[in-house]
Structures are given as C-alpha cells and as structure tokens.
C-alpha cells in the first residue's frame, strides 16, 4: 500500500465551513471526496507538527480537525529530520516556513511516497522543489526524486472515480457556463493620431 503524509491544510479544508469563494469551495469538495473515497487506498501518516497546527485557531474548528486526525499514525520527529528541516530553511525556504520545512523533512526521512497538501507556497511548489532536492541529497536523507513526494492525489482518477456523478456534473456545468457566457473580444476601431 502506498504511503501518504497528510499535511494540515488538507484537514483544515476537510472540516471547515463551506466557503463562498469558488476555489476554496472546490478545494473543500475535492478534499472531502478524497477523504471519503480514496483515503482507504493509502497508508496515511501525520506528525506532531500536523497536530500542533491543527489545534490552533477557533476552538470548535480545532476540535473538528483533531477529531478527523484521531487514529492516524504519527511519524516521529528525529534528529535526522531536524537537520534536514534546518538545511531546507538555510538553503531554500524562508524562516516563516519552519513548519513547512518540518512537514517535508519528517515525510522525507519517514520515506513517505506522497505529501498531500493544499500549500502551494512552500510545499507543492515545483520551483522550490528543484532547490530542495539537492539539499536533501547532500544531507544524505533522500535516495529518490523529491518531486515524487508530491502528487495530485486529489484529482487522480480511478475507474470508479471517472464514473462518479460529481466529476461528470462538474464537466457538464463548466460546458453549460461556457456556452451561456462565451468570451468575446470587442475590437475597437484604430485611433487617429
């Protein structure tokens, strides 16, 4: 069974109140579908960093996040992981991303295949991954391509998923919206000098 490290943004979207912003609402829906339908296909892991972050903020939401994470095995923070997180911060990540460096280091040292995250600033960021990979290799913590640790597990479709009504409905809805609201470009007449 493939392994996945569940980063805090995922559980935050899972339990948060429905968002009015379309992107947020889409992230919430995709997260809930993954949690209900795909999570069982992976050996899932979290860390104390996830639990610490999940316990912050509004008390009711924090309780819901912690409840959702209950029973998921934790990867231990190790000296090797701490050294790698420090190296990530020294070489590629800003100081404010210490938690993100810890997530990545713990998952890396734990040999987890995927990190599931909505954090595109510091974790699911191809440009940063290019800078983090040689740091991990130099630290001797990593013997595979760092890009493999991140995957679009939210939209990767199995045969079961492809027939799911929400996927078909979303496609039909997008086509209907496009048909009703075609993009047109009005050409303005050239201006006289």
Question: Where residue 117 sits, what CATH number does that domain have?
Answer: 3.40.50.1010
The residue that leads in pLDDT, 1 or 176, is 1
Q: Judge contact between 77 and 106, C-beta under 8 A.
A: yes
The residue that leads in pLDDT, 169 or 136, is 136
In-domain check, residue 167: no
Residue 59: pLDDT band with limits 50, 70, 90: very high
In-domain check, residue 187: no
With a cut of 50, say whether residue 44 has pLDDT above it. Answer: yes
Name residues whose C-beta falls within 8 Å of residue 161's C-beta, 6 or more positions apart in sequence: 37, 38, 167
With a cut of 70, say whether residue 93 has pLDDT above it. Answer: yes
Average pLDDT over residues 169-174: 42
In-domain check, residue 41: yes
Name residues whose C-beta falls within 8 Å of residue 30's C-beta, 6 or more positions apart in sequence: 154, 155
Q: What percent of the chain has pLDDT over 70?
A: 71
In-domain check, residue 161: no
With a cut of 90, say whether residue 155 has pLDDT above it. Answer: no
In-domain check, residue 123: yes
Q: Which of 24-28, 105-109, 183-187 has the lowest mean pLDDT?
A: 183-187
Could you give the CA distance from residue 128 to residue 72 in angstroms, rounded to a whole number?
Answer: 28
How many domains are contained in the chain?
1
Burial status of residue 3 (CB atoms within 10 A of its CB: 0-12, 13-18, 19 or more) = middle
Residue 21 sits in which domain range?
A: 3-149
pLDDT at position 123 is 76
pLDDT at position 140 is 62
pLDDT tens per residue, range 2-28: 899 999 999 999 999 987 889 889 889
In-domain check, residue 164: no
In-domain check, residue 69: yes
Q: Which pTM does this prediction carry?
A: 0.73
**Average pLDDT of the chain to the nearest whole number:** 77
């Amino acid at each position: 069974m493939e392994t996945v490290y569940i980063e805090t943004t995922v559980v935050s979207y899972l339990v948060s109140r429905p968002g009015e912003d379309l992107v947020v609402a889409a992230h919430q829906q995709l997260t809930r579908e993954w949690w209900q339908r795909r999570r069982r296909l992976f050996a899932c892991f979290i860390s104390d960093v996830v639990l610490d972050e999940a316990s912050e903020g509004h008390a009711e939401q924090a309780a819901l996040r912690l409840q959702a994470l209950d029973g998921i095995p934790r990867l231990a923070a190790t000296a090797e992981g701490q050294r790698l997180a420090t190296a990530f911060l020294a070489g590629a990540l800003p100081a404010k991303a210490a938690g993100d460096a810890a997530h990545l280091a713990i998952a890396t040292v734990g040999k987890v295949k995927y990190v599931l995250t909505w954090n595109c600033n510091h974790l699911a960021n191809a440009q940063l991954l290019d800078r983090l990979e040689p740091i991990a290799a130099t630290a001797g913590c990593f013997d595979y391509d760092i890009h493999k640790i991140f995957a679009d597990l939210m939209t990767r479709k199995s045969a079961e998923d492809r027939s799911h009504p929400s996927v078909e409905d979303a496609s039909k809805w997008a086509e209907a919206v496009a048909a009703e609201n075609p993009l047109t470009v009005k050409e303005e007449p050239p201006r006289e000098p």
